[in-house]
Amino acid sequence: MPLAKLDHVTVLCADVDMSRRFYADVLGMVDGDRPPFDFPGAWLYVEGRPVVHLVGGRNERGITETGSFDHVAFDARDLAAMRRRLSEAGVEFRERGVPGRPLHQVFLHDPDGIMIELNFRDEG
């Protein structure tokens, strides 16, 4: 198979700084190096890889040409710590277990309304 793994997701955000703080401060990603593009943005890293690319100014007219994208999911660790982080940040979330699997999921929305799924394996 020519595909190896998902590389990154790009978020067209209304406020780059607010989104950067959400992904870094709330979810714990690292705000890292980004090439000097001629448009505003940020790259957020997980385990040394830039997995969320934020782009500002490109969705000012409500562009929806990317289709039926529903959510993005991340493997996560330490369910209790994440619950605390989200609660302390005032972020609403919901949880559910996956029937027949040792998997617990947490769902929340970023500042632009994108659903984020956090998967905690063998926790919950």
Catalytic residue numbers, as ranges: 117
CB 5 within 8 A of CB 21: no
The CA angle 63-64-66, to the nearest 5 degrees, is 120
Encoding tokens for residue 94? 């919901």
Those residues with Cβ within 8 angstroms of residue 73's Cβ, 6 or more apart along the chain or in another chain:
116, 117, 118, 119
**How does DSSP classify residue 102?**
S
CB 9 within 8 A of CB 72: yes
Question: Which 3 state secondary structure label does DSSP give 116?
Answer: strand
